[in-house]
Amino acid sequence: NAGVMQNPRHLVRRRGQEARLRCSPMKGHSHVYWYRQLPEEGLKFMVYLQKENIIDESGMPKERFSAEFPKEGPSILRIQQVVRGDSAAYFCASSRLAGFNEQFFGPGTRLTVL
């Protein structure tokens, strides 16, 4: 029973490039959450998606960031025109149900912007 999968595990981009982070939830999970972890800080909620719907994007920066969770395939977090401040670990979590229930986290994607 595979857990939450994220790829790539490490991503290096130069300023101005685009970063695409992928997340495949656990089998049977249709709720996906993205969090960002800056060095020495806790995880910060970014966005909550269900299949084909964005439920809550209150934690997403207004510009350059977008997320999707299509009917088929993984959830994608997309960062356009990356800047050095985007360097962080990005974690995806999934859950089976809506509301409060255990969120299972993936291993994260570590983004480095040069």
Which region among 14-22, 34-42, 63-71, 77-85 touches another protein (by CB under 8 A)?
Answer: 34-42
Q: Which position has the token pair 């991503």?
A: 11
Beta strands (DSSP E) in 1-85 are 5-7, 10-13, 19-24, 31-37, 43-50, 53-56, 65-68, 75-79
Contact characters 45-84, another protein, x per CB under 8 A: x--x-------x-xx-------------------------
Residue 69 or 91 having the CB closest to another protein? 91
Are the beta carbons of 3 and 106 closer than 8 angstroms? yes
Min. distance of Cβ 104 from another protein in angstroms? Answer: 8
Q: Could you tell me the CA-to-CA distances from 64 to 27, 52, 60, 78 in Å, in that order? A: 30, 20, 9, 8
Binding footprint of another protein on the chain (CB under 8 A): 4, 31, 33, 35, 40-45, 48, 56, 58-59, 91, 93, 95, 98-100, 102-108
